[in-house]
Every structure is written in structure tokens, then in C-alpha cells.
Amino acid sequence: MDDEPTQLSARIGVAVRYHRTARSLSVADLARATGLSKTILGRIESGAGNPSVQTLFSIARALDLPLSALLEAEVAPRVRAIPSGSGDALPTAAGTVHLLHADGRPRRTELFDITFGHGTEQASDGHLPGTEEVVVCLSGRLRAGPLGEEVALKPGDAVWFAADTPHRYVAERDSRVLDWISYPVPAS
């Protein structure tokens, strides 16, 4: 029972840091938006703080989140495999639609059609904080994702991952992918 407050504080800290960095906010930015000190926010993010409900509401409001988003047991994963055919099948007159990913956040996006030769590797040091990628395998076989968390893809499979850390693409065969890169919109 004694571990519950510590576990809750740690979970809140992870959630606050995740949602703050996903919005490309510094601790100082969040401090200004909440009226809390950087020291208090740093303690909360490290799991050492014991924030009041009022403090959590202030943070949630500044991050444009419901309070529950800071209390959830798990933060959204930074890598998500999307196997071919996943998502609910919605029949249309022309075929079937599968929603693979939806996102209501304002973002800047780029879409690339990339070919890789058998055995080649392309690495990236990581993009701007908060950048995400969705890689859809059209042909061949490859692994893509953050270093050490690469996901094996075959035609029709996709992977979503946080692309603000080092990541790579390793072609196990001649391969072709669509690479959708989504950047956060800078705060005005």
C-alpha cells in the first residue's frame, strides 16, 4: 500500500513529460503556462513530487488535456505496429477501407515514396522534437523504427513511431515504402 503514492507520482511524472514534449514545450514554457515553478514541474516529472489535484488541473489545462490523461496507467506507446488488414473494415462500393491511424492535432506533414535496394540501410539521427513517422510497406521486406525497436514489415504492414530519436530502415529485400512524416506546428 505504501508504494501506491510513489507509483502514482512516477506515472504522473511520465505522463506530464510525455505530453509536454509531444507539444514541443520546454519545462520553462509549461511553467509560464501553469504559473508553477520550473523546480516544481521538474520534481513532478521526475516522480518526486506529490502534486495536488489543483496543480494537476493546472497542468492538464495548459496541455489542453483532460485530467485523466495525466493519471492513466500507460502513456501512448512511442512505437505501434500496424499489420496489414488491421482496423475495422468499412465496405464501400469500390472496395474496403481500413482506418489505420487518426490524429486530430494540428501538424505539418510530408509524404515520401522511397525505394530501398536489397541489404541497404538508411539511418536518421532523429527529427525535431515531437516528430512522428508512419511507414507503409508497399513491396519487399524491411525493418523500420527507432534503433533497437525496429518492426519487421511485409507488403501492407505499417509502423508508427516517434521519429525525434535515432531511427533507421533496413531493407531485407528490394523494397518500396510510403513514409509519412508529421511535424508539430511551432507555437506562435
Q: Which pLDDT does position 118 carry in this prediction?
A: 94
Both 111 and 158 in one domain: the answer is yes
| Mean pLDDT per 10-residue segment, the chain (188 residues) | 65 89 91 95 90 88 85 68 72 66 69 89 89 94 96 95 94 93 75
Strand 96-98 versus strand 132-139 pairing type: unpaired
When divided into structural domains, the chain yields a total of: 2
Looking up residue 21, the CATH number of its domain turns out to be 1.10.260.40
Phi then psi dihedrals of residue 86, to 5 deg: -75, 170
My answer on whether 90 and 161 are in the same domain is yes
On whether both 67 and 94 belong to a single domain, the answer is no
180 and 157 housed in the same domain: yes
pLDDT of residue 183: 85
Question: In angstroms, rounded to a whole number, what is the distance separating the alpha carbons of residues 49 and 24?
Answer: 22
**Do 57 and 142 lie in a common domain?**
no
**Could you tell me the residue range of the domain that residue 155 belongs to?**
79-184
pLDDT at 103: 60
Instruction: State the sign of the Cα–Cα–Cα–Cα dihedral 62, 65, 68, 69.
Output: negative
Same domain, 85 and 170: yes
Residues 166 and 136 in one domain: yes
The CA distance from 106 to 95, in Å, is 30
* Residue where one domain finishes, among candidates 20, 53, 71: 71
User: At what angle are helices 27-34 and 3-22 packed, to 10 degrees?
Assistant: 100
31 and 95: one domain? no
